[in-house]
């Protein structure tokens, strides 16, 4: 799917090329495309099979996004099938993309994919051992609600537009972030890899209230809440009383995508 002959939210022509990868079960791709369009990117929505067959390659893009949903029905475990396709069949391309410091974003199921593919926590370019995971919520049920997040000072230094605290919706059954050991959690803290924490309440029981992390280099980021679902103010359930952080009609999720796209602009040649 190509988006052409459009202008960005601020009226500028598109420059950043974003690749949004979908698979069977992906269901947040259209919201993600819309968010990227508003933020100023030209986006291609591509099925994973096009990458596996070599008809599409990663290197022409400045931004790679894995949206939310239930890729392959989460039949083995959340995100595992898509993660294996990336890890074992696209490893070389992914490693070059990461080493070039280009941004990669995984939202909800996309976060689960990045974790199980070895792209996060990303102590190396592609971790050989899975050190963190996202497992069943403490509630034992699927949760769809709004949460307040706190933005942390992290290696993802390009996330400068976000306020210290902001709201986003969650929609997941396996969003509890845990580490394989306390040493891994200590490394995440020491490296500045914790990007977002739950500020109001911890909806799923994640260790240390972690809602999103980045790799050691700061260019690969995954989070469970959905910034693509709050790009305009009216998407918030309390929008008539909401005090906007940037403008009358802007949602805080837009600020996330604007930061991502602005960072990706530095890789345009």
CATH number of the 16-267 domain: 3.40.50.880
| Active-site amino acid positions | 108, 226, 228
Average pLDDT, 10 consecutive residues per value, the chain (269 residues): 36 76 98 97 98 98 98 95 98 98 98 98 95 97 97 95 94 98 98 96 97 98 98 91 70 96 95
DSSP-derived secondary structure letter, 152: P
The model carries a pTM of 0.93
- Are 227 and 170 in contact by the 8 Å Cβ rule? The answer is no
Q: If you search the block for the tokens 């790679």, which residue do you land on?
A: 64
pLDDT at 244: 59
pLDDT at 240: 82
pLDDT at 247: 59
pLDDT at 30: 98
Write phi, then psi, for 93 (nearest 5 degrees): -65, -40
pLDDT at 8: 38
Residue 24 CB-density burial (10 A; 0-12 exposed, 13-18 middle, 19+ buried): middle
d(CA 157, CA 195): 10
pLDDT at 136: 97
pLDDT at 3: 36
Residue 67 CB-density burial (10 A; 0-12 exposed, 13-18 middle, 19+ buried): buried
* Cis-peptide, bond into residue 121, ω within 30° of zero: yes
Question: Beta strands 194-198 and 210-214: pairing type?
Answer: antiparallel
pLDDT at 2: 36
Kindly state the helix (H) or strand (E) to which residue 135 belongs, with its residue range: strand 132-135
DSSP-derived secondary structure letter, 87: H
DSSP-derived secondary structure letter, 168: E
pLDDT at 269: 83
pLDDT in tens, 38-67: 999 999 999 999 999 999 999 999 999 999
């Amino acid at each position: 799917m190509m988006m052409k002959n459009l202008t960005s939210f601020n009226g500028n022509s598109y420059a950043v090329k974003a690749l949004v990868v979908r698979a069977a079960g992906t269901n947040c791709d259209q919201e993600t495309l819309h968010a990227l369009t508003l933020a100023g990117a030209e986006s291609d929505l591509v099925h994973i099979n096009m990458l596996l067959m070599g008809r599409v390659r990663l290197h022409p893009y400045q931004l790679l996004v894995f949206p939310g949903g239930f890729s392959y029905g989460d039949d083995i475990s959340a995100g595992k099938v898509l993660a294996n396709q990336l890890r074992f069949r696209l490893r070389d391309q992914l490693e070059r993309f990461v080493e070039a410091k280009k941004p990669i974003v995984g939202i909800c199921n996309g976060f689960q994919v990045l974790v199980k593919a070895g792209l996060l926590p990303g102590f190396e370019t592609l971790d050989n051992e899975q050190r963190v995971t996202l497992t069943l919520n403490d509630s034992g049920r699927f949760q769809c609600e709004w949460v307040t997040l706190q933005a942390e000072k992290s290696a993802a230094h390009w996330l400068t537009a976000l306020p210290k605290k902001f709201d986003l919706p969650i929609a997941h059954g396996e969003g509890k972030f845990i580490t394989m050991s306390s040493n891994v959690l200590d490394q995440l803290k020491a490296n500045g890899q914790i990007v977002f924490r739950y500020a109001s309440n911890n909806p799923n029981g994640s260790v240390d209230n972690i809602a999103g992390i980045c790799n050691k280099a700061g260019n690969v980021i995954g989070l469970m809440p959905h910034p693509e679902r709050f790009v305009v103010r009216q998407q918030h359930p309390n929008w008539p009383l909401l005090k906007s952080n940037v403008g009358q009609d802007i949602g805080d999720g837009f600020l996330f995508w604007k930061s991502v796209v602005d960072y990706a602009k530095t890789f345009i040649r």
